[in-house]
Structure 1
Amino acid sequence: MTTITEGATDDVRQLPARSTTRLLMNTHPTKIVVVGAGLSGLSAAMHLAGRGAEVTVIERQLTPGGRMGRADIGHYRIDTGPTVLTMPEIIDDAFAALGESTADRLDLMRVSPAFRASFADGSQLDVHSDAMAMADAVESFAGRDEAQGYLQLRDWLTELCRVEFDGFIGSAFDSPMSQLSTDLLRLFAIGGFRRWDKVVRRFLADERLQRVFTFQAMYAGVPPQRALAVYAVIAYMDTVAGVYFPRGGMRAIPDAMAAAAADAGVQFRFGTAVTALERSGSRVVAALTDTGDRLATDAVVLTTELPDTYRLLGHTPRQLFPPRPAPSAVVAQFGCRASHSAPPHHSIIFGKAWRECFRDITGDGRLMSDPSLLVTRPTASDPTLAPEGRDLLYVLAPAPNAQVGAVDWATIGPSYTAQMVEAVTEQLPELGEDIEILDVVDPAGWAGQGLAAGTPFALAHTFSQSGPFRPANRVRGVDNVALAGSSTVPGVGVPTAVISGRLAAERLTGPAATRRPTPALR
């Protein structure tokens, strides 16, 4: 059962499903292979099965989830990928394709506060999704004028989401010209194509508050000073729409999606890799696996990394410039003694440096001189994820990707992990008791997992890699293959990965006959 302890989601607007994309097939395929059981592949499988297709999902790992990975270490149940869940109604859209709801499969808890921001000067701010609670917190933190500015910024973020979501994030496009619309003009009018940090400064003068509403640019792989304001919709998701956590950890999401898909007839082949795609002219007619199987198919959904996608298709993309990968991250998992005074589920620890840290990792390709960290304590919401009397901590430090960085992770990794522990315990001393390092993944580790440029965040959302300029979810010269995942439209993140699966399904079958919801706007 879905548990939501504050706010409401009954105000979801119902809009007609829109399609601005050319279908890849004139008739609905009856047999489809989906390569990859990450969120995008699971979403695609659910939407396709809901439309009557016979779907087989091939996944090289032994469990579903893709980038939403997992590890079980010494009675700790660890999430190695995303830890922040927003807009669960988008996941509900995938379940609805099978006649189910998220509540049938998941117990979602509202995370309150959404996160706590801690600054180098010792100040702290709890970030609430409730407007009045957050306005009161901002007034106590920075004064009445800043509280008024926050409310105005909240209104602007809500309008940005209203204009942008259905027409841009929730749709795929065949060309830049197909994006010309009234919504595009409205987006220009409200400042969507200005710089993110400049727009936020229109509302907030306090530099600490500016960080709270712009640090999300790193999710898009671009410094706030260079990111377009259209990506401030991520700040809307974090600070307005609200943050959730599934009981059992983030892994519960792909597990639930896979279970619903399997109950609807989707076949899964775990521990199996696709080694080649058999072509007949412009069509893929079969997928070949490392187990020696040949799976005949009418169509394919590929959620693989772009280099692997192009290799499987024997395709060389037309590109004026090489793709630019997003920055990477070091993700360290710690166990420590549980404390009643421990911080909330999510904390952002901001270092003294701000502009410099972005320049370090995106320009100079070196470690942040004064790191800002994301600290997630999932045991704040579900204590069963750690042994009794222990807390589980997930600490993420942005880092240069393997393409621009020259960091010898084999040499520097252990000392950098120790610096991360020191930075966390300095700001959050209640977490410093009896620390044990459970698992660490750095850019070299991500590369070892097959992630291009050693980053889990795929392609950066620069202007030339956004919207209609991002690699499309179809490939020139191939008639029956749709792409899904972080490197295609709409981009990086949990909600967008789920949307990309739907968009891939629509490439093959057209939009669903029923209306689909846009997210609730608060």
Structure 2
Amino acid sequence: MLTVSVPELPRVVTRERPHAVVIGSGFGGLAAAVRLGARGYRVTVLEQLDAPGGRAYVYRQDGFTFDAGPTVITAPFLLEELWALCGRTLSDDVELRPVSPFYRIRFDDGTSFDYSGDAGAMRAEVERLAPGDVAGYERFLAASQAIYKVGFEQLGHVPFSKFADMARVLPELLKLEGYRTVYSLACKHVRDPKLRVVLTFQSLLVGGNPFATTSVYCLIAFLERRFGVHFAMGGTGSLVRGLVCLIEGQGGELRCQQTVSQILVHKGAACGVRLSTGETIAADVVVSNADSAFTYKRLLAPEHRKRWTDRKIEKSRYSMSLFVWYFGTRRKYPDVAHHTILLGPRYRELLRDIFDRKLLARDFSLYLHRPTATDPALAPPGCDAFYVLSPVPHLQSGTDWKTQAEPYRLALQQRLEQTLLPGLADEIATSRLLTPLDFQNRLSSFRGAAFGLEPVLTQSAWFRPHNKSEEIDRLYLVGAGTHPGAGLPGVLSSAKVLDSVVPHADELVARASLVRA
């Protein structure tokens, strides 16, 4: 519990540039910093790790480059907007290259499905896999488009500060069957079990169980169809570096290895932060890109919280965690796609083990990322870089990852060797792991949940922690734990919400001038 007394920090507003402090340098924090800089703020971004990125951190070892987290880039226009705010174009600094197929889905029986943005190719794949479901697939895609137009275009970048905001959109969401789950909406349109998996696994990429997540997330299908799936040459880290350069070009500052221990409050408003070193930094606004549960439970003293109490935080539902194995091979595997979904023998029951029972199952479904399929420079000549991701329960499972990590990695290795990567055991050149403990201890995620709050209907929009804190003034939240949710488009949109809720710097200066007068 935080009991440290809070000094009255001097106001920072001058006739020039008010000061904004951003906690965390994930994509949400970096995007927020760019938007605040464009609105006239002097911005300081504080990152506890030794380099920016948060979940998009970059590991380099033995000549290999590994993106720690996000690898699927959709909705590139959200990135282009940030560059445009700085008078530049995204292509000035980063090359986005389309990936096709978007995903290769391999079922446990060895059959596969190439999921792409090509309408004709997709129709042919559906007809090959489930010939009786072609018309149903087209209906599902039409439903996805309708949901996209409301859920993303109309609501993705707007705040839900009042319940009235939620009430206004409920009729439209009900009309679009937002009360259904992702899987339920797919079942309405298609009958083949495999095709139902093809149309629903994407919600796992934003931390949602397709059997519990609101069908609003079915918009992902149309989002990908319209804008494609891309990869940043040089790795996702090149986007992080590009955003940092934009911030510095605006006169902002990034400070790494700076751990925030407390958000300071004066007269009901955020007035700065205290670092673990004891240093205090005054600010006119504070934006937290840290995990929303961590922000309220660890950074804001209990006396300042009425809604997000410890009890409410602990009773909320959280996404699954992830086990990620990064490895490089001495040889290439040219037949492996850039993105592969490697499914196990169970789907519904495995997800029930992960999300509901909190059990570490012996079987698994995996996401295999081979970035060198698009950018060979991420590995030494003749080599491949990979990461394989396995959804696992968050830390409420009680799994002892200090002892279970290596046996679990070995099980993943054996599965990959039996399916996609023959001879893998003898080809590994470098290796490292990320477990739920790392999400908790390194990335400050409550219970090691990789995507924050689970995106069920009762934890979406107004029900999520608000972008403009409902607890204190001048505190704002961005990232996966606030509206609209996880995934690169979600966290970038959460920063876009700030344009509606954070006063323009000129407005703060004008207010300060009136007070002085």
When normalised by structure 2's length, the TM-score is 0.88
2:261 pairs with 1:267: no
Question: Could you tell me how far apart the structure 2 residues matched to 1:298 and 1:225 are?
Answer: 43
For 1:70-219, list aligned pairs within 5 A: 70-143=58-131, 145-181=132-168, 184-219=170-205
Match of 2:404 in 1: 412
Question: Could you tell me how far apart the structure 2 residues matched to 1:177 and 1:488 are?
Answer: 18
For 1:362-381, list aligned pairs within 5 A: 362-381=355-374
In the alignment, structure 1 segments of 5+ residues that lack a partner are 1-24, 513-522
Root-mean-square deviation (Å): 2.3
Match of 1:469 in 2: 463
Question: Could you tell me how far apart the structure 2 residues matched to 1:482 and 1:247 are?
Answer: 32
Paired residues of 2:179 and 2:457 also in contact (CA < 8 A): no
Match of 1:5 in 2: none
Match of 1:297 in 2: 283
Question: Could you tell me how far apart the structure 2 residues matched to 1:140 and 1:200 are?
Answer: 18
2:270 pairs with 1:284: yes
Secondary structure of the equivalent of 1:447? helix
Question: Could you tell me how far apart the structure 1 residues matched to 2:438 and 2:269 are?
Answer: 35
Secondary structure of the equivalent of 1:85? coil
For 1:452-491, list aligned pairs within 5 A: 452-491=446-485
Question: Could you tell me how far apart the structure 2 residues matched to 1:401 and 1:456 are?
Answer: 8
Match of 1:421 in 2: 413
In the alignment, structure 2 segments of 5+ residues that lack a partner are 1-12, 507-517
2:307 pairs with 1:318: yes
Choose which of 497, 508, 513 in structure 2 pairs with 1:503.
497
Output one character per residue of 1:396-453: Cα deviation in whole Å (capped at 9) or x when no partner. Answer: 00101002x0212122211111111111222214573613451111112222212210
Question: Could you tell me how far apart the structure 1 residues matched to 2:31 and 2:203 are?
Answer: 25
Report the alpha carbon displacement of residue 120 of structure 1 after superposing the two structures with TM: 1.1
Match of 1:7 in 2: none
Secondary structure of the equivalent of 2:290? coil
Question: Could you tell me how far apart the structure 1 residues matched to 2:404 and 2:270 are?
Answer: 45
Report the alpha carbon displacement of residue 374 of structure 1 after superposing the two structures with TM: 0.3
Match of 2:241 in 1: 255
Paired residues of 2:129 and 2:195 also in contact (CA < 8 A): no
2:345 pairs with 1:357: no
Residue identity over aligned pairs, in percent, reads 31
Match of 1:389 in 2: 382
Match of 1:441 in 2: 434
State the AA in 2 paired with 1:466: S
Report the alpha carbon displacement of residue 272 of structure 1 after superposing the two structures with TM: 1.6
Question: Could you tell me how far apart the structure 1 residues matched to 2:505 and 2:82 are?
Answer: 13
When normalised by structure 1's length, the TM-score is 0.87
Question: Could you tell me how far apart the structure 2 residues matched to 1:412 and 1:313 are?
Answer: 34
Choose which of 13, 25, 42 in structure 2 pairs with 1:54.
42
Paired residues of 2:96 and 2:233 also in contact (CA < 8 A): yes
Match of 1:12 in 2: none
Change (3 A) 1:268 1:505: farther
Change (3 A) 1:510 1:203: farther
Paired residues of 1:91 and 1:495 also in contact (CA < 8 A): no
More deviation in 320-329 or 495-504? Answer: 320-329
Match of 2:6 in 1: none
Match of 1:518 in 2: none
Report the alpha carbon displacement of residue 507 of structure 1 after superposing the two structures with TM: 1.8
Question: Could you tell me how far apart the structure 1 residues matched to 2:479 and 2:74 are?
Answer: 17
Paired residues of 2:47 and 2:258 also in contact (CA < 8 A): yes
Query: Which structure shows the higher helix fraction?
Result: 2
Question: Could you tell me how far apart the structure 1 residues matched to 2:18 and 2:505 are?
Answer: 16
Choose which of 216, 225, 229 in structure 1 pairs with 2:215.
229
2:487 pairs with 1:493: yes
Report the alpha carbon displacement of residue 220 of structure 1 after superposing the two structures with TM: 4.3
Output one character per residue of 1:48-96: Cα deviation in whole Å (capped at 9) or x when no partner. Answer: 1112211111222222111112111111111111111111111112222
Change (3 A) 1:229 1:511: farther
Report the alpha carbon displacement of residue 218 of structure 1 after superposing the two structures with TM: 2.3
Choose which of 341, 347, 353 in structure 2 pairs with 1:348.
341
Change (3 A) 1:355 1:470: same
Change (3 A) 1:511 1:284: closer
Change (3 A) 1:344 1:232: same
More deviation in 34-43 or 109-118? Answer: 34-43
State the AA in 1 paired with 2:54: G
Match of 1:336 in 2: 329
Paired residues of 1:339 and 1:430 also in contact (CA < 8 A): no
State the AA in 2 paired with 1:149: G
Secondary structure of the equivalent of 1:509? coil
Paired residues of 2:292 and 2:477 also in contact (CA < 8 A): no
Report the alpha carbon displacement of residue 131 of structure 1 after superposing the two structures with TM: 1.1
Which structure 1 residue ranges, 4+ long, deviate > 6 Å from structure 2?
none
Paired residues of 2:41 and 2:505 also in contact (CA < 8 A): no
Question: Could you tell me how far apart the structure 2 residues matched to 1:248 and 1:186 are?
Answer: 41
